[in-house]
Structure 1
């Protein structure tokens, strides 16, 4: 065999190696781009082979033994903790870490994929709810008297006294707001990046044990004992929307990832689906043998229902036609009550918390197979996690941007546009465009000399009838910064301006009295009857 011919010269060999490396990098970039556009990964569901076969009869042991490989088989497990339950569970946004809390004080956080324990503590105090914050380094716990924040080593970091006797917690990742509600019925928003209390709203509907957030617009949905579901934002002290959902107390509420479908469960044994886009109209109602203790939507739209000692999963529950049978069901003997169900993001896994501990179930087709590494990366390193945390803080949205219609934020709303009228919580909600100025202070339509404003009388020079927010094209010398400032101050009402307007009204009344020839003594007063009569 002849010897391999070698390239002479170090420079030539280096050039060829550099060209090969650049070619390989270009091909990898093209493949990544194709994978992003084409989304080659797809979700698979259980499909019956014939009409008589039912997918809900497939048990977890049969699924693990016959249809799963050894990697996915490890995702089916049970943690037997009968002395410390019932348990509540929560997953991080990337689906990598699991947080569990027992009602008798047992708290643990771990990487459930690797089986690596992060922390485990005994609080010796009832735990009602647990919630991850922006990443796996911090989490919040709803305890007996107030809420606490712990780090990933189990060390107590903060005690939040404003969250009194909380029953439910939820974290708004794009606003860094922790929301809680509990026995007093007060909804509390707190910014975890600054520690500031952003809002405290008294629902005035008593104890509340059902709460969730709408992932699309960050609106909080609360279920109450009188059967109503109220929608809240930190910008309004009154509920934006109030829906009479059940004939009994609302026990659970959930919203799908698109923010268009809401599911509610009540003591009347009904699980109802609501269309949030169409005037909150009911879609379907499903019967539950016992009241649904918890509801949860997966990334692909599957609905998990916790009732009794069962965890049931429905597919296409909010479709055009009512589904007659569930997609999957799992019975845990002796585990009543099943208190919490949560889907793991980007995984076909359902976490179930019950009286005997924790169960992890495989639900084919539940998770989104294609993830955005800039949004939530399951394979993020420590350095990537730190960089993502800094970016999240820089991109944090203010609390006053939370609205039912998030598309209103950043839009230019004119008098002819009624989008501002359709946003509950604003001062113009429910009014006609021609009634907006009548809701303002009547004195704001007057100038300091007592005459109507030229900008408010509907006759504007230039492009008369255009939006007031649009600056008019004025002549030279009339469009300076000071002139603009003074024009904007015309509608601002303060104490000095109020005194001036009162003085103008008194002088105008005095001029009218003099013009009519009425002296000050002839003006009758209701108190004249009490004057002493002259004899």
Structure 2
């Protein structure tokens, strides 16, 4: 820790105001603010003082935050991947040791798993219809169902009160007690699901190759796109910008948003079908595995491959922890890699063997050093030191929230719900202004202030107004047909034109008779000339 001289001026809690503002300040200083309105000036200064107080408080609480994560450290010739779960349980505290457990459910597997956003609840879904939601810390069960039909995926919604289950034909939404709330009949034969918590959107893909977005707050179907790439084998979301990443059987990974009917990006990742996709919390790196037994790390910012690894058998599941640990499930093995995105590692951080049971799904528990495994014979919770983020934001996601806090967060989440149009590759575009529009406004303002001629101003305004286009009048097809018809002799067209010509002459002769003008009776023919 840096030493502090006795002559230095100390702020409350020993925090320098300049240092605090350099890190946490969110507004400009009001010392040199020149505002004519006294009321507005005082209001701005009070707001600025609140920001300063909040910055100093945030800087002071840094003493309570741990800077280094508690990873495993080996001594001498030892290697961290040689450590077993039994050894870890003997050397950690009792509370942490109890979190490493195993559930033997041999008759209903393989299992899909999912944690809530705060890491308090766990949801299990067996392929043969067994559903269980419970608090694994307290050991209390919320609900347990036997649906007696195929279950392909399970997913918690915005909190632990509701969860979605992709069953044999439709997607069903259940509440905490196991009561069926809704049946999404437009989502047919769904294989993978993802929930966007800030948009309240449930994204699903199925065997038909359609990507569908469902608003769970209003019940409306937002969009539905045909991916045109066959069966979708993998699905995940980018937590940074809420973009959906899909893996296809042709080795392509495509990026989607609910406002675009075509993929934003298409990346050829593997020579065979993509088995699993995972994106880190910062949205900078993506990990993919394929049937070619390769594990590849990609930089999402440049869409280039960073490095790759080979797995003895094709990996079937991937997940990335809050601290950047990469978990890979292949066969009955699970491998955890540390710093896999920075440099190419020579040996894994931890390994685990689940004998006689293939790993189906892996998930890191948020805000905890746990890795959940869903396999053929049930569920296993592994202790992985350094995986969880210890410094959580209680106003964002609180692992220790009360009933009242959960209700308040749900209301605030609905009030602050983001629109699907805000999902883009670069989410910072929302606070930006188009410079071209600014220049046009400046020019219009110059015409008003300088007093230039009204004709020039009207000409400029006419340029800005879009022209009204008549759809279909001058399309490429119509131009082609007009050009083609002008050079083709059609008998039917000649007969129609001759009939129109006779009808026109008849109207002209009738008009001449009314006016008393001479009429050429020969053109009327022998049958009508006698009535002239």
CA 1:492–1:329 in 2, change beyond 3 Å: closer, same or farther?
Answer: farther
CA deviation profile, 1:19-76 (whole Å, cap 9, x unmatched): xxxxxxxxxx9997566434523420001112x32100100011101x2110101011
Q: 1:472 aligns with which of 439, 444, 455?
A: 444
2:308 pairs with 1:295: no
Cα shift readout 1:471-492 (whole Å, capped 9, x = no counterpart): 711438999xxx99x9699316
Q: Does 1:245 find its partner at 2:217?
A: no
Question: 2:290 is matched with which residue?
Answer: 266
Which residue number corresponds to residue 13 of structure 1?
Answer: none
In structure 2, C-alpha distance between the alignment counterparts of 1:362 and 1:204, rounded to whole Å: 41
Partner of 1:101: 125
Deviations along 1:393-427, one digit per CA (max 9) or x if unpaired, are 111110011000111123112349xxxxxxxxxxx
SS of aligned partner of 2:439: coil
Q: After TM superposition, list the pairs within 5 Å mapping 1:106-117 onto structure 2.
A: 106-117=130-141
Q: Which has the higher helix share?
A: 2
Q: Secondary structure at the match of 2:406?
A: helix
Check whether the contact 2:233–2:273 (CA below 8 A) recurs between aligned residues. Answer: no
Q: CA deviation at 1:529?
A: 8.1
Partner of 1:203: 227
1:147 to 161, 171, 196: 171
Match of 1:54 among 65, 71, 79: 79
Q: Where does 1:82-231 land on structure 2 (aligned, <5 Å)?
A: 82-231=106-255
1:143 Cα deviation after fit? 1.1
Question: Contact between 1:345 and 1:367, CA under 8 Å: does it hold in 2?
Answer: yes
- 2:369 matched to 1:408? no
Q: What corresponds to 1:518 in structure 2? A: none
Q: Equivalent residue for 2:487?
A: 526
Partners of 2:334 and 2:353 within 8 A in 1:
yes
1:317: which partner in 2?
340
Call closer, same or farther: CA 1:493–1:206 in 2, change over 3 Å. same
With over 3 angstroms needed to count, the CA separation of the structure-2 counterparts of 1:32 and 1:527, relative to structure 1, is closer
Partner in structure 2 of residue 45 of structure 1: 71
- Which deviates more from structure 2 when the two are superposed, residues 201-210 or residues 246-255? 201-210
Deviations along 1:329-356, one digit per CA (max 9) or x if unpaired, are: 1111111x20110000000000100001
Q: Secondary structure at the match of 1:389?
A: helix
Shift, 1:498, TM fit:
9.3
CA RMSD of aligned residues (A): 2.8
Q: 1:387 aligns with which of 408, 426, 429?
A: 408
Per the normalisation by structure 2, the TM-score is 0.75
Please give the TM-score of this superposition, normalised by the length of structure 1: 0.75
Q: SS of the counterpart of 2:435?
A: coil
Q: How has the CA–CA distance of structure 1 residues 195 and 488 changed in structure 2, closer, same or farther, with 3 Å as cutoff?
A: farther
Q: Which residue of 2 aligns with 1:304?
A: 327
**Cα–Cα, structure 1 residues 529 and 101, in superposed 2: closer, same or farther, change >3 Å?**
closer
In the alignment, the residues of structure 2 paired with residue 217 and residue 345 of structure 1 have an alpha-carbon distance, to the nearest angstrom, of 19
Maintained 8 Å contact 1:181/1:209: no
Distance 2:64 2:202 in 1: 34
Deviation of the 1:526 alpha carbon: 2.9
Alpha carbons 1:39, 1:370 under 8 Å: kept: no
Aligned pairs, number: 425
Structure 1 106/33 Cα, relative in aligned 2: closer, same or farther at 3 Å?
Answer: same
Give the secondary structure class of the aligned counterpart of 1:64: helix
For the residue of structure 1 that corresponds to 2:351, the secondary structure is strand
| 1:333 counterpart = 2:361 | no
Write the deviation string for residues 366-385 of structure 1: whole angstroms up to 9, x where unpaired.
00010100110011111100
Structure 1 residues 387, 492: closer, same or farther in 2, change over 3 A? farther
1:458-497 to 2 correspondences below 5 Å: 467-468=439-440, 472-473=444-445, 474-475=447-448, 490-491=465-466, 493=468
**Distance 1:354-1:490 versus aligned 2 partners, 3 A rule:** same
Q: Shift of residue 493 of structure 1?
A: 3.3
Measured against aligned partners, the alpha-carbon deviations of 1:198-232 in whole angstroms (never above 9, x if no partner) come to 11110111111200000000000000000010000
Q: Is the Cα contact below 8 Å between 2:294 and 2:311 reproduced in 1? A: yes
State the structure with more CA Rg.
2
Distance 1:132 1:141 in 2: 9
| Distance of aligned partners of 1:288 and 1:63 in 2 relative to their CA distance in 1, 3 Å threshold | same
With over 3 angstroms needed to count, the CA separation of the structure-2 counterparts of 1:56 and 1:158, relative to structure 1, is same
Counterpart Cα distance in 2 of 1:488 and 1:101: 61
The match for 2:278 is 254
Sort the Cα spacing of 1:248 and 1:382 in 2 relative to 1 into closer, same or farther, 3 A. Answer: same
Counterpart-to-counterpart distance in 1, 2:442 and 2:56: 49
SS at 2:414's partner residue?
A: helix
Indicate if the aligned counterparts of 1:129 and 1:168 stay in contact, CA closer than 8 A. Answer: yes
